[in-house]
Amino acid sequence: MAAPIKQIKLNKISEVEWQIPKGEVPGMNVPGLVFASDELVQRMRLDRTLLQTANVATLPGIYKHAICLPDGHEGYGFPIGGVAALDFKEGGISPGGIGYDINCGVRLLKTNMTVKEIRPKLNELVMALFRNVPSGLGSKGKIRLKSRAELEQVMKMGARWAVEKGYGWKKDLKHLESEGELKVADPKHVSDLAVKRGLPQLGSLGAGNHFMEIQRVDEIFDEKTAKTFGITGKDQVTVMIHTGSRGFGHQVASDYLREMEKAFPEILKKLPDRELIYAPAGSDLADKYLKAMSCAANYAWANRQMILHWVRESFEKVFKKKAEEMDLEVVYDVAHNIAKIETHKVNGKKAKVFMHRKGATRAFGPGNPEIPSDYQKVGQPVLLPGSMGTASFVLVGSKTSMEKTFGSTAHGAGRLMSRHAALKQWRGEALKKKLEEEQKMVIRSASWKGIAEEAPGAYKDVEEVAKISDKAGIGKIVARMRPVGVVKG
């Protein structure tokens, strides 16, 4: 491919932790901290994951270290699986530290049914989900908002907007990160083009790696915590939803990348990578971007809330029972592409920061006021989706994650193979058949190409990612689920 990649020096700290010493790239303000096994480090060395982590360490006002999580892989600007806390006054906010799909995230639902009970109707259920939740290219929401004013309500209220419109239950909100609503959002900083892209797509799954999955609980590792989250036994049926803010968020990100480049050419010149551009703390653009990005985050929470409602409707239709009777409730909902204002303890002092998590999940420990009251004692659930056909995990945040990673851990399996290579290796039709025959899965997708690109073998082993998170203590393993039915975007 292109020019050889600069090799980054790593000092091993523990079995699963590595330090990138300051000075590995010029201008690093802090060291890098990488969570990986020996094997995953070798993988990271094949692309720019480690270099990008070191580059992040050059950002101003960064605290402690630039972090790369075990699912880390090359992104643009930040690696995917990157975490950085930049001081609220001396630092800044960087779209490259969030990603284009603002508040791409995961929602997990539980039921009181077992896989045995649903198996006879699995086909019907997957078909109902495929029909009820728009997915794939050109997927439009079923309700079409007509004006900017209407969409502004979504931008301001997030998931609460959806609940007030009849999508889901009020108590769902308690089990969403930030209760599905960032109050700092201000629609006046969102462009008309973003609105145009966002209007038709609200209430749709989209494409790419986005999916809905019917799962069965495969193993419980921490019974007490699992029970607190409503995960009570093997073979219990759960549902996972993975999507984000659609074209709306992509446009907000593109808009502000351009604005920041224009406004800060001097910063741009000094940066090791154009896509690390940031708006310095205190600048007008930092304020505007935070508020616009929060609008996109709220859009995503409203989107997942609407999809939840259609999942409930699909279950009701297929099983001819009320969602309440099936205990079809939200376990939790996490954002894994986001920046937020948070306060963290650094060297015994409180620091207010722009907390960047790109392909990283918040993992707050027990007692944190940000997590729901019923989870206070055990910590925040962390949802780690696997790739199609492989397991997903529920982890829990801990005291250690608060200390080591600003309360963050991995977000999924992380790609191993390019989409292009995956397309060469697998054909969608054959792969679907294989998964359906060997694993008794039911799969529906808008695109064959999508299935091949998202083949399980194209991803890092999610088990390995979860184990490293557990070993490092930054997200302890609670339960593992396996897919039985998949709707791919």
The contact set with other proteins (CB under 8 A) reads 1-2, 47, 73-77, 80, 99-101, 136-138, 140, 193, 196-197, 199-201, 206-209, 246-247, 250-251, 253-254, 257-258, 261-262, 274-275, 415-421, 446-447, 449-450, 453, 489
The CB-of-92 to other proteins minimum distance in angstroms stands at: 18
Q: Rank residues 116 and 258 by Cβ distance to other proteins and give the closer one.
A: 258
CB-neighbour burial class of residue 171 (10 A; exposed 0-12, middle 13-18, buried 19+) = exposed
CA 476 – CA 473 distance, rounded (Å): 6
E runs forming strands in 336-466: 337-346, 349-358, 361-362, 381-384, 392-396, 408-409, 442-445
Tokens of 352: 């207010």
352: β partners = 343
Residue type at position 371: I
**Residue spans of alpha helices (H) in 167-280:** 192-198, 223-228, 246-263, 265-270
The CB-of-351 to other proteins minimum distance in angstroms stands at: 30
Q: Rank residues 100 and 301 by Cβ distance to other proteins and give the closer one.
A: 100
Q: Rank residues 75 and 385 by Cβ distance to other proteins and give the closer one.
A: 75
The CB-of-244 to other proteins minimum distance in angstroms stands at: 9
The CB-of-115 to other proteins minimum distance in angstroms stands at: 30
Which residue in 73, 189, 411, 420 is the catalytic one? 411
Active site residue 250: no
The CB-of-444 to other proteins minimum distance in angstroms stands at: 13
The CB-of-215 to other proteins minimum distance in angstroms stands at: 24
Q: What are phi and psi of 17, to 5 degrees?
A: -130, 140
E runs forming strands in 347-475: 349-358, 361-362, 381-384, 392-396, 408-409, 442-445
Cβ contacts of 443 within 8 Å, gap of 6 or more: 126, 388, 432, 435, 436, 451, 485, 486, 487, 488
**Residue spans of alpha helices (H) in 5-147:** 38-44, 49-56, 115-118, 122-132
CA 254 – CA 179 distance, rounded (Å): 26
CA 261 – CA 96 distance, rounded (Å): 12
Q: Rank residues 138 and 282 by Cβ distance to other proteins and give the closer one.
A: 138
CA 408 – CA 397 distance, rounded (Å): 8
The CB-of-236 to other proteins minimum distance in angstroms stands at: 32
Q: What are phi and psi of 415, to 5 degrees?
A: -70, 150
Number of residues that make up the chain: 489
β-strand 11-14 against 17-20: which pairing, if any?
antiparallel
Looking up tokens 């010493």, which residue turns up?
21
Output the CA–CA distances (angstroms, integers) from residue 97 to 79, 184, 277, in the order listed. Answer: 8, 19, 9
Q: Rank residues 91 and 206 by Cβ distance to other proteins and give the closer one.
A: 206
First to last CA, the chain: 30
Q: Rank residues 146 and 420 by Cβ distance to other proteins and give the closer one.
A: 420
361: β partners = 409
Angle formed at CA 72 by CA 381 and CA 332, multiple of 5 degrees: 15
Q: Rank residues 99 and 397 by Cβ distance to other proteins and give the closer one.
A: 99
Q: Rank residues 125 and 253 by Cβ distance to other proteins and give the closer one.
A: 253
The CB-of-459 to other proteins minimum distance in angstroms stands at: 10
Check: CB of residue 463 under 8 Å from CB of residue 425.
no
Q: Rank residues 12 and 142 by Cβ distance to other proteins and give the closer one.
A: 142
The half-sphere exposure of 34 on its side-chain side, counting CA atoms within 13 A, is: 32
Q: Rank residues 350 and 420 by Cβ distance to other proteins and give the closer one.
A: 420
Catalytic residue ranges: 411
